[in-house]
Amino acid sequence: MNISNTKLDIDFVRSQFPAFNDPLCKEWSFFENAGGSYVPQHVIKKLNEFMTSTKVQPYAEYPMSKIAGDNMDKATEFFAEMINAKNKEIIIGGSTSINLYVLSNALKYSLKPGDEVIVTNQDHEANISPWRRLSEVGAVIKEWKINSDNGELQIEDLDNLLTNKTKIVAVTHCSNIVGSVNNLKKISELAHNKNAIVIGDGVSYAPHGFPDVKELGVDFYTFSLYKTYGPHLALLYGKEEILKKLPNQNHYFLEGSYPYTINPGGPNHEELVSLIGIYEYMMEFYDHHFDNNNYTTREKINNVNNLFASHEAEIANPLLEFIHKKNNLRLIGKNQITNKNRAPTISFISKEKSSKKISQILVENKIATRNDNFYAWRCLDALGINTEDGVIRISLTHYNSMKEVEKLINILDKKI
């Protein structure tokens, strides 16, 4: 099959997600992927199987326990393959917020007073606060500010902030408000020229395509698995050569056992095993759309990503254009997706109605979305938007259809 001509089969995709046939959900258009996504049947099946037959303490010699442990390892291996990392570079924790908090605690020992840490005001607070707190050990915090007209982070501004004292750059791969995809590869190159490390927040990026962390060149990269069609867990990738040197945050006798050194408490077992279901879904998606079986997992993921991206651009661009042109609305971020420059995470406010009012109207019409600041307080502040009322966020993903988007445009046109 010619890859460039392949179109995403939306009926196939939606048939994989039991929610879209569930009596409670099936009438609704679910536009809240950046908040959390529904899960494919593979994930539910794996969770169910674990809870039914292997819900015991893993890694003992009896079969149920052995299978539980093997499946936990398998889940980690599959995710390592999908994002081009090594197994020992993958940490599965409870959330991105906790993973970054633990990481910042570990990294603080490598800083001395006067060292510099760069954070942005585009990020979700989860990738700001843990790094700002490093001022407690004498770090100087510098803010890479967005352009307040368009919400974008400009790379020249980072270049001006970087010095020989910069040790950490914490930046989002994709803003959960503005939707822009930041050039993490370039950011990593610039930071590495100064021997600084980069912590990339991929929470709003990964649902639209699992990253190749080696290609990005980042030192740490995090995303929340409950937004990538899984349970409420989060993945943290760390470069092995850095991870192995980080001070242990776990029990003293686990000294040296990275990556567990950065994962106190460890992952939730049943949820970890259910991640195998995400891998199975991605592979089934690939097999449904493509013929070539000789590809590596990562190559297959690349093709899946491209198909997600072309479908998402096809359904998001009419909505972006509509909001951009509608006089009483203010669109945040770019008004078109071209070349994966933007995620289909679309925020706007009205010049006439509160965001809360608009969200109520949308919900009355069975559009599942909300108004909020989405914990990107600093970003909203810089854009001059009330952080209480926030923005309306329409967050599309590959399982949304053109029909759903047309319905939304129609409601926005008639009622907003």
Ligand X SMILES: Cc1ncc(COP(=O)(O)O)c(C=O)c1O
Binding site for ligand X (CB under 6 A): 34, 95-97, 124, 126-127, 172, 176, 201, 203-204, 224, 234
Compute the distance between CA of residue 163 and CA of residue 116 in angstroms, rounded to an integer: 8
Nearer to ligand X, 29 or 224 (CB): 224
Q: How far is the CB of 371 from ligand X (least distance, A)?
A: 15
Q: How far is the CB of 35 from ligand X (least distance, A)?
A: 7
Distances (CA, A) of 410 to 30, 246, 317, 367: 16, 53, 15, 12
Nearer to ligand X, 289 or 370 (CB): 370
Q: How far is the CB of 202 from ligand X (least distance, A)?
A: 8
234 neighbors 223 (Cβ within 8 angstroms): yes
Nearer to ligand X, 58 or 390 (CB): 390
Nearer to ligand X, 125 or 143 (CB): 125
Q: How far is the CB of 176 from ligand X (least distance, A)?
A: 4
Nearer to ligand X, 102 or 411 (CB): 102
CB burial of 196-223 (b: ≥16 within 10 Å; e: otherwise) equals bbbbbbbbbbbbbbbbbbeebbbbbbbb
Distances (CA, A) of 77 to 18, 86, 275: 26, 8, 10
Q: How far is the CB of 224 from ligand X (least distance, A)?
A: 4
Bridge-partner residues for 371, per DSSP? 392
Q: 400: which 2 tokens?
A: 């949304």
Compute the distance between CA of residue 249 and CA of residue 81 in angstroms, rounded to an integer: 26
- Measured in residues, the chain has a length of 416
- The three-state secondary structure class of 316 is helix
Nearer to ligand X, 26 or 232 (CB): 232
Nearer to ligand X, 124 or 342 (CB): 124
Handedness of CA 289, 212, 68, 265 (dihedral sign): negative
Compute the distance between CA of residue 1 and CA of residue 191 in angstroms, rounded to an integer: 41
Question: Taking the mean position of all CA atoms in its chain, how far away is CA 142?
Answer: 24
219 neighbors 243 (Cβ within 8 angstroms): no
Cis peptide upstream of residue 259 (ω within 30 degrees of 0): yes
